[in-house]
Amino acid sequence: MIVTSVRVRDFRSYAGAEAHVGPRLTVVHGPNGSGKTNLLEALYFGCTGRSFRTTNDRELVRFGHSTTRVEVTLEDRDHQSHLLAVGYSPGEPKHVTLDGAPLERLLDDERRPLVSVFAPDRLELIKGVPQLRRAHLDQLVGALWPARAATRRSYGEALAQRNALLIRVRGGRASADALRAWDLELGRLGIELSANRARAVDLIAEPFAEHAEALGLEGAVRLAYRPRSRAASAEELAEEIAAALDHDLARGYTTFGPHRDELVFRRAGRDLRAYGSQGEQRVALLALLLAERDTLAEQRDRPPLLLLDDVMSELDARRREHLAARIAARGQAVVSATELAHVPGATEAGVADIDVGELIAQEA
Ligand SMILES: Nc1ncnc2c1ncn2[C@@H]1O[C@H](COP(=O)(O)OP(=O)(O)OP(=O)(O)O)[C@@H](O)[C@H]1O
Ligand SMILES: [Mg+2]
């Protein structure tokens, strides 16, 4: 499934606009404030029903208007075209349709295009709290093996139940014996969850190291999943969880388990989160997204649409060239830049498919 165009109505700064998305690299360029990020956000919103910039969807509706709509045109393997539409009015549930038929859970729907985003804020994935990296990794697991996404959800539910029970045990309103059932449940789901994550990291680790090197990140760059537990079975993990009970009661939550695991980025043996420069962290994030795309293309023949916002201006000329060559190599990518010249090769026919000035038919 590829994205061929996006059309928006009253989305952010756009009253109405339409843009074509090419099969490889598409460049969106224009001065600051011209609506480049808004357009990438619209693509993301049309494919996922969410924004990568905000959790407050109200911000997406053009000032002074009460409803917004984004339509994404898709083309499947048989060259049949499909229309994915997301309509939103604040205070009401989003209305999503595929070829006119309502869709309940767009994010989990296999027919939607996968999307992956680089934006300056997303550096948090490298330098922020571990929870962000775990969530990202869990999304990758879900994209690689859709059926396994349920394990993460069930684990989260069991964890919430155990945490609620811990509070009651602490208050003397329940017996600690009652926790046993949840220890076993977390052991069972947790061992699966860790195995899925480890398998996903195994798949992306090598392409990650290659992309990082090609993008000029020097020193051996490694990606590793670091689970807290060494348990080899569900029972062993359940025992480890049970053994932390005193600690859990003191803290008021479950302190041991895969919900505390880490995904670590290292360069020359040191954690990039703590020691990486901004530029190194940026390259690591790009290498991660490219490695995931390669893996999804190989394993599932389903490379995500890459949205790269404001990435070129921060890279030096050599890295820009590497990046432009890599992103155009497989799958679709939409890149924003203030200057077209920041995207090497973008003036050559076939590399740049669009030029924002020409192709966005913007209404007054
Ligand atoms: N809900 C909204 N309604 C109307 N305009 C909005 C809305 N949200 C944002 N804007 C406007 O959109 C413009 C910014 O667009 P955008 O962030 O896409 O620019 P950009 O081209 O990415 O700029 P830069 O190069 O600085 O990143 C701002 O002028 C902002 O005021
Ligand atoms: Mg922008």
Dump pLDDT digits (tens) for 57-109: 999 999 999 999 999 999 999 999 999 999 999 999 999 999 999 999 998 89
User: Quick one: which ligand is closest to 56's CA?
Assistant: 1
What pTM value is reported for the model? 0.92
Distances (CA, A) of 266 to 21, 116, 126, 269, 273: 35, 22, 10, 6, 8
Q: At what angle do helices 317-329 and 278-300 cross, to 10 degrees?
A: 10
Nearest ligand, measured from the Cα of 337: 1
Query: Which pair of structure tokens corresponds to residue 291?
Result: 């490695």
pLDDT at 222: 95
Pocket of ligand 1 contains residue 67 by CB under 6 Å: no
Sign of CA dihedral 354, 355, 356, 358: negative
In the chain, beta strands by DSSP E: 2-11, 14-20, 25-29, 68-75, 81-88, 95-98, 101-102, 115-118, 221-226, 262-267, 270-271, 305-308, 333-337
Which atom from ligand 1 is nearest to the alpha carbon of 61?
Answer: 1
Protein residue closest via CA to atom 12 of ligand 1: 13
Find residue 118's DSSP bridge partners: 308
Q: Is 218 in the pocket of ligand 1 (CB under 6 A)?
A: no
State whether the beta carbon of 35 lies less than 6 angstroms from ligand 1: yes
**Concatenated DSSP letters of 8-32:** EEEETTEEEEEEE--SSEEEEE-ST
As a whole number of angstroms, the distance between CA 280 and CA 283 comes to: 5
Give 86 Cα–ligand 1 centroid separation in angstroms. 20
Structure confidence at residue 352 (pLDDT): 38
Q: Which atom of ligand 1 is nearest to the CA of 39?
A: 18
* Residue ranges, the chain, pLDDT below 50: 348-364
> Which residue is it, tokens 């062993």?
236
Test site for ligand 1: of 12, 28, 69, most ligand atoms within 8 A of the Cβ: 12
201 in Cβ contact with 144 (< 8 Å): no
Q: Are 282 and 121 in contact (CB under 8 A)?
A: no
Nearest-CA residue for ligand 1 atom 11 is 13
Burial 11-44 (b: 16+ CB within 10 A, else e): bbbbebbbbbbbebbbbbbbeeebbbbbbbbbbb
Nearest-atom index, ligand 1, CA of 38: 18
Closest listed residue to residue 319, CA positions, set 356, 290, 348, 359: 290
> Alpha-carbon distance 239 to 234, whole Å?
9
- Residue-range domain boundaries for the chain: 1-113+304-364
Nearest ligand to the C-alpha of residue 30?
Answer: 1
Domain 1-113+304-364 has CATH 1.50.10.10: no
Q: Please report the pLDDT score of residue 364 as a whole number.
A: 34
Report the DSSP pairing between strands 115-118 and 101-102: unpaired
